[in-house]
Amino acid sequence: MSTPLKFLVPGLLVFGMLVWLGLPRLLVGLGFHRHYEVPALDLSGKRALIVATSHATLGEGGKPTGVAASELTAAYYAFADSGMRVDVASIQGGQIPIDPQTLRWPVISPPDRRYLKDEEAVSRVAGSLNISDVDATGYDIVYLAGGWGAAYDFGQSAALGQKMADAYEAGAIVGGVCHGPLGFLQAKKADGGLLIEGRRLTGVTDKQIQELGITQTPLHPERELRAAGVIFEADTAFRDLFADKTVVDGRIVTGQNQNSATETAVTMMQTLMDLPAGPDA
Q: Which of 88, 199, 202 is nearest to 139 (CA)?
A: 88
Coil, strand, or helix at residue 97?
coil
Q: Which of 136, 171, 167, 189 is nearest to 277 (CA)?
A: 171
pLDDT in tens, 130-149: 999 999 999 999 999 999 99
**Single pTM value for the model:** 0.92
Residue 55 lies in a domain: yes
**pLDDT confidence of 59, banded at 50, 70, 90?**
confident
Residue 24 lies in a domain: no
d(CA 248, CA 261): 14
CB 279 within 8 A of CB 168: yes
pLDDT in tens, 151-176: 999 999 999 999 999 999 999 999 99
Q: Which amino acid is at 230?
A: V
Name the residue range of residue 139's domain: 31-274
Cα separation values, 115 from 15, 150, 279, Å:
30, 21, 34
Number of domains forming the structure of the chain: 1
d(CA 144, CA 4): 56
Residue 13 lies in a domain: no
pLDDT in tens, 221-268: 999 999 999 999 999 999 999 999 999 999 999 999 999 999 999 999
Residue 7 lies in a domain: no
Q: Which amino acid is at 143?
A: Y
Residue 266 lies in a domain: yes
160: domain CATH number is 3.40.50.880
**pLDDT confidence of 281, banded at 50, 70, 90?**
very low
